[in-house]
Structure 1
Amino acid sequence: MIRSRWSAHLWFGGLLLAGVVVRGLAVLGYRPVLWFWADSFAYLSSAIDLRPLPSRPSGYSLFLWFFDSVQAVVVVQHLMGIAMAVAIYALLLRAGLAAWGAALASAPVLLDVHQVQLEHLMMADLLFTFLVVAAVALLVWRPGAWAVVAGLALLGAATVTRTLGLPLVVVAVVWLLLRRANWRAVGAGVLAAAVVVGGYATWFATVHGSFGLGGSNVWMWSRTMTFANCRVMDPRPELAVLCPEAGPRLAAPAYIWDPSSPLVRSGAAKEELTGEFTSLAIRSQPVDFLLAGLGDALWAFEWNRRIYPSPGPQSAYVFPDSVRPFSDKVASAGRTATQLTVQYQGSSGETAVVEPYAGWLRAYQEQGYLRGPFLAAILLAALGGMAVRLVRGRFADALPALLPWAAAMTLAFLPPLVAAFDHRYVVPVVPLACLAAGLALAPRPAGGRPARVAVTGRAEQAAHA
């Protein structure tokens, strides 16, 4: 009997073991971690000084503050990746999906080399993904009052890690209202998210003098530079200096870093001018704005990963053949990479490529990832499964899959719309898409009773007992 019970999980056990092996190769082959210049060091300096960064939310820096070793950080991040796969598997089993089907849905999270690379990267994206998946899984599992509060609080934590978490709070609240969740529970959850986000904004204000999460108008301005037509916009002379040059347009991020970018002519009023230019461009060319973002977002579904915005292993987010050694160049806050890592953990965090483990991992990454058309198929399968239930009048049964699907679509299409396409932004879509497809094809709702019953008051709960 016991053996029969465990044999049902052999598919997942095999995939789990393979996922652990791939992560083991990353830990052994690229020691202690991969760095993304210079964002990784900005997060690290913020963790050392414990201050909010002006350019981006510092939730990841708060996470780093709890450690004193980059090796420990990367191991925890790999464990988070495995935990997401386990959560998907357990939730789909609860929804009645066959064990092999639930295992298949978790496979991309366990085996996609780009997921593993993101876990091995000193960046906020993995923590953000983990918080979002944890929140969605918690809300779908059983959306009782405590789960609503905890789930929305987790999305608040995701927001102070990456600002993309904020629209996901809205998505989750709308979903809860569709499930007719108790309004007191939803209100308490919104309050919990607001406390997390508001607490961070207050901390930000004590350091930088104004409430915010950190960010810059420059990113959105660079997005508009791929379509802006100043003859249509007719900007005032002070804004006209930001107009794109005649000729082929560059990738959006290039307008931030290229020394010949119009941005260098904006002077000290850069934030004010880029914000006004962005607003004018979107109001003057709303269709071009939407088409530019949509066109870039569709790159995620191509067969081959597009190396964007420029060739090189960093832009493709792969495990590289070699890694540049730390230099004397300032990495962040007036300190070099060596100085920052020594201050953080007492020794240099310079990456060493160790063979043969790194070579085995590089060989695996040639084919070991989810191709774009398969991601599109997973999202369409989820949509189709929900549509079938709606046609059959089973609206409540379609709702569990709706939350992860809506979250996946938000993360797939919003970043290219407001900033730029980047494969690093596509990886968080995968676990949510797999969860949505599994729930849409499962025979019963994952959350048991509808949310309205699960979160009602004591009297109504007693009536159902």
Structure 2
Amino acid sequence: MAHRALVIAMLPAIGLRVLAVLGFPPSILFYGDSFAFLREELTPGTTRPSGYSLFLALLRPAHSLTLVTVLQHLLGLALAVAVYALLRRRGLPGWGATLLVTPLLYDEFLVLLEHMIMADAIFIVLITAAIALLVWRVTPATAAVGGALLGLAGITRTVGLPLLILTAGYLLIRRYGWRPLVALLVAGAIPLGAYATWMKVEKGKFGLTEADGNFLWSRTMSFADCGVIKPPERLAVLCPNMPVEQRPYPPYWLWESFSPLLKVPGAANRNQLAGEFARQAILAQPVDYLGAVATDLTQLLRWERTGAEEKTPYKLPTSERPLSESVRGVAESYESGPAATRVVEPFAGWLRAYQRFGYVPFPLLMLALGGALVAALVRRRWDALLPGLAALALVASPPFLAAFDVRYVIPAIPLICLAVGLTLGGSREGDQAAKRERETLNVA
């Protein structure tokens, strides 16, 4: 059987997801993002876009969080199969392509995100499917589908927006012609424009969120010195009131009671003032800003994702946690019944044990990414540059715009695997096919 290696690898991967469904029914809820996504009233999100809420709304009539997580698990498995099929098409043997999609099948964090009521699993599927489709073949039709997927990714997580621009640049530099480029941009603009219009109708301004300035401001709390920045009086209220060495990690400044951000009334006004302060802080202290970013990026050198004693929301729960009164109604309305995460042994314990070692350490992941980018240039595997650069953008941008979070690195894993596979696969046939496509499109 030509795909025996993949079939053998899929069986334990399916088993891991069955353990998640059996061990942590009906889903794992992320406090408090999950409840914002689950609200019955559909409105544009303040701190995050509501694309995932639209996905959940489509499934709401079933009143089953289990259905949501099972679909997310199936999409994760399907994504691994799609990447495998593309790598086989590019000449890799079955065992080689299977080896390269192993992280997609077995990484504990991907399994965790698939089982969470969070936007990440859907975001990963959207961006990887779009990039893989355009690596496979560039035509006006595939460019339009890829653009639409990236547009949907942008209203699911705003970090997806640069990928649309990056992909457009790829088509332009590789001279695929104007038709695929226009198809990509128009199709990508449709969901983004529709969402921004919805935001205008609901909240009076075009945009995807009302928090981009807040997040950038929280980034500057790692170093901001108002004695150096000298902000005007209307921004001075946002100055941090504790020494740099005592300041907590940037995300805490977004919601904790000590944050001066909470003193500013009105979500839109707060976001605008925070953005202005952040830009002034970065211009006044560029070296400190880059130093804070570099410090965050050193987290990619950690072998362990989370230490044994480290507090993190990304560990599978060991005990059941009742829902607070403020969010219980939201979750139970969606589930039409009890919605708190249950912990069912021994299945939960087996998956928790796997979580301690079932992942690709970040240093190896970054080594693979760097190697793929270098090899793509040396071997002239230009198609490998698209997933490689997209992965790099996903990994590097959060520390510049907010802060490092281990969760933000995970969407890059499928793209890194794809980039590595494309550098190893046969290039001549793929390059000739791409050349023929470009010639055909230019003639047309």
Shorter-chain TM range is over 0.9
Matches within 5 A, 1:390-429: 395=380, 398-429=381-412
Q: Give the TM-score normalised by structure 1.
A: 0.89
- Residue 306 of structure 1: CA displacement? 4.3
Correspondence list, 1:243-258, <5 A: 243-244=239-240, 245-248=242-245, 249-258=247-256
Question: Once the 2 structures are TM-superposed, how far is the Cα of residue 456 of structure 1 from its aligned partner?
Answer: 5.5
Residues 44 and 199, structure 2, Cα contact 8 Å, conserved in 1? yes
The answer to whether the aligner puts 1:349 opposite 2:349 as a matched pair is no
1:4-403 map, 5 Å:
6=1, 8-45=2-39, 48-67=40-59, 68=62, 69-216=64-211, 217-244=213-240, 245-248=242-245, 249-268=247-266, 269-306=269-306, 311-314=310-313, 317-328=314-325, 330-331=326-327, 337=328, 339-389=329-379, 395=380, 398-403=381-386
SS at match of 1:149: helix
Q: Distance in 2 between matches of 1:415 and 1:446?
A: 37
Q: Give the conservation status (yes or no) of the 8 Å contact 1:415–1:425.
A: yes
Please give the root-mean-square deviation of Cα atoms over the aligned residues, in Å.
Answer: 2.0
Q: Aligned pair 1:432/2:415, yes or no?
A: yes
Structure 2 match to 1:392? none
Q: Tell me, in whole angstroms, the C-alpha distance in 2 between the residues paired with 1:256 and 1:323.
A: 27
Q: 2-side partners of 1:445 and 1:266: how far apart?
A: 59
AA at the equivalent of 2:30: F
Match of 1:334 in 2: none
Which amino acid in 1 is paired with 2:44? Answer: P
Instruction: Describe the SS at the equivalent of 1:66.
Output: helix
1:322 deviates by 1.5
Question: 1:213 and 1:127 mapped to 2: Cα distance?
Answer: 18
**Matched residue of 1:143: which SS?**
coil
Identity, in percent, stands at: 44
* 1:13 to partner: Cα distance: 1.6
Deviation at 1:211, TM superposition (A): 1.2
1:229 is displaced (CA, Å) by: 2.1
- Higher mean alpha-carbon deviation, 152-161 vs 214-223, is at 214-223
Segments of structure 1 that go 5 or more residues without pairing to the other structure are 1-5, 332-336, 390-394
Instruction: Tell me the distance in 1 between the aligned counterparts of 2:263 and 2:129.
Output: 44
Confirm or deny: 8 A CA contact 1:145 1:455 kept in the other structure.
Answer: no
The one-character-per-residue Cα deviations of 1:1-45 (angstroms, maximum 9, x if unpaired) are xxxxx1x42222221111101111001000010001111010110
Task: Sort the Cα spacing of 1:378 and 1:385 in 2 relative to 1 into closer, same or farther, 3 A.
Answer: same
Match of 1:3 in 2: none
Task: Write the distance in 2 (CA, Å) between the matches of 1:177 and 1:343.
Answer: 48
Whether the 8 Å CA contact 1:145–1:454 is kept in 2: the answer is no
Separation of aligned partners in 1, 2:89 and 2:428: 8
Provide the rounded CA distance (Å) in 1 between the counterparts of 2:107 and 2:409: 12
Provide the C-alpha distance between the structure 1 equivalents of 2:77 and 2:431, rounded to a whole number of angstroms.
Answer: 25
Query: Does the 8 Å contact 1:44/1:64 carry over to 2?
Result: yes
Report the more deviating stretch, 177-186 or 153-162.
Answer: 177-186
Change (3 A) 1:173 1:452: farther
Q: 1:447 to 1:137 in 2, by over 3 A?
A: farther
Provide TM-score, normalisation by structure 2. 0.93
Kept after mapping to 2: 8 A contact 1:40/1:123:
yes
Q: How many matched pairs?
A: 436
Once the two structures are TM-superposed, the CA of residue 449 in structure 1 deviates from its matched residue by: 4.1
Aligned partners of 1:160, 1:452: CA distance in 2, in Å?
33
CA distance in 1, matches of 2:218, 2:114: 28
Deviations 1:46-81 (A, max 9, x none): xx2222222211110111111132111100100111
Higher mean displacement: 198-207 or 234-243? 234-243
Mapped to 1, the partners of 2:301 and 2:76 lie a distance apart of 22
Amino acid in structure 1 at the alignment position of 2:70: V
Matching residue's letter, 1:301: L
Q: Distance in 1 between matches of 2:362 and 2:419?
A: 17
Matched letter for residue 373 of structure 1: P
Distance 2:159 2:350 in 1: 35
Q: Secondary structure at the match of 1:385?
A: helix
Q: Which amino acid aligns with 2:248?
A: L
After TM superposition, give the deviation of residue 212 of structure 1 in Å.
1.2
Deviation, 1:369, is 0.8
Q: Are 2:255 and 2:262, in contact at CA under 8 Å, matched by a contact in 1?
A: no
Q: Does the 8 Å contact 1:220/1:278 carry over to 2?
A: yes
Contact 1:223 1:417 in 2 (8 A): yes
Change in Cα spacing, 1:402 to 1:197, as seen in structure 2 (3 Å) is same
Larger displacement relative to structure 2 (406-415 or 86-95): 86-95
CA separation of 1:325 and 1:15: change in aligned 2, threshold 3 A: same
Distance 1:290 1:313 in 2: 26
**Does the 8 Å contact 2:177/2:441 carry over to 1?**
no
Which amino acid is the alignment partner of residue 382 of structure 1?
A
